[in-house]
A and B are shown apart, each in its own frame.
Chain A
Amino acid sequence: MTRLARWIAILVAVLVAGCAGPKETIVLLPSPAGQETAVTVTQGTRQVVLAQPYAGARLSRSSAEAFPSNAQEVQVRYGSALAAQPLPPARFTLFFVEGKDEFTDESKLIVDSVFAEIAKRPIPDVIVIGHTDSVGNDAANDVLSRQRAEVVRAAFAARGLAADKVVTVGRGKRELAVPTGDGVAEPRNRRVEILVR
């Protein structure tokens, strides 16, 4: 009888532990100044919003509670995951002569920095994003922005960067670096962004 009771107690303990299910923890990290940042944690009808650096949420199947975490706790628990984060993309900008797909002389120097960054990364891939100023319609600017990106790809290929490591994108006049009205010839908007990843 005592043995049976003991077995029942063990069985109950196992079942209770099983019902508790996996424990989950979420912690919001600080992000670069000025950037809006938040994570919403939704579990059925419960919701916890993490909006401050190191705000945390602990979940089991039947509960969700907010708790304050800190840098030290995060490092202990998530150190390996954080150490495996890839380097964020490095960004460069090249500028173009108005209405053409040639880059300015100053921009030729920036190309050297791009290649230095590529050399630093174990498995580099490059995204080249062309932009235009607001002169002309979308269709023409989409084509021109893509052409500018292709010019950069070709220039990089000539310096030995395999074309299959480069993805080109034309964003036309959708993302002006310097906001202007429509139809404004603004040199700082005639640019190509380069992301080395």
Chain B
Amino acid sequence: MTKTFSRPLGRGLAVVAAALWLSFPALADVGQIKVATGQVFVDRKGQSLPGRVGLVLEADDVLRTGADGSVGITMRDNSLLSAGPNSILSLERFEFDATTGDGRFDARLQRGTLAVTSGRIAKKSPQAMTVRTPSAVLGVRGTEFVVAVDD
């Protein structure tokens, strides 16, 4: 009895899992650096890459700017994020289905200053985008705003 139930269920779950995976195919291309001045680095998988204009970003990337640095990025859902000097900004999670507009975007400002213009993910669902700071969670409802975290 268990077998006859579990097999179709297992297959059903596999199909659902495949559908979910297919709907978020662009995990390795979440956005791109469009503006960079001064010192900008991108920490990725234990390496530190120069944060040049044109660099394609991945989920989990951490952007860092030096005392003279600033960086601006455009995400796949048209969110625009830009950080001023001495900033650390992590792209913790980014998932986006371009057909439906569904997705999830969590960023974290550990230090420095950040300007945000939200994109389609926040427009589709007001719970789907957050910016975290060391002490708070910012919920974004279709918005432009700025954040500063002092040492």
Contacts and interface: CB of A to CB of B under 8 A. Distances in A.
Interface of A: 21-31, 35-43, 50, 59-61, 64, 74, 77-89, 122-123, 125, 127, 129, 142, 167, 169-172, 174, 195, 197
Interface in B103-151: 111-115, 117, 133-151
Interface stretch (B1-9, B16-24, B80-88): B80-88
Given A27-B146, A39-B141, A86 B34 contact: yes
7 contacts: A22-B135, A24-B134, A37-B144, A85-B82, A86-B80, A88-B80, A197-B74
A81 B84 contact: yes
Nearest to A51: B141
A31 B146 CA distance: 12
Contacts of B135: 21-22, 24, 43, 59-61
A171 B111 CA distance: 38
Interface of B: 32-37, 53-54, 70-74, 78, 80, 82-85, 87, 98-100, 111-115, 117, 133-151
Contact of B113 (A35, A81, A88, A89): A81
Nearest to B68: A80
A87 B53 CA distance: 13
Task: Determine the main DSSP class of A at the interface with B.
Answer: mixed
A197 B53 contact: no
Contacts of A30: 144
Nearest to A62: B135
Contact of A42 (B36, B73, B137, B150): B137
B99 A24 contact: no
Contact of B147 (A21, A25, A123, A197): A25
B106 to A, nearest CB: 14
Contacts of B137: 41-43
B141 A29 contact: no
Nearest to A35: B142
A87 B34 CA distance: 9
A123 B32 contact: yes
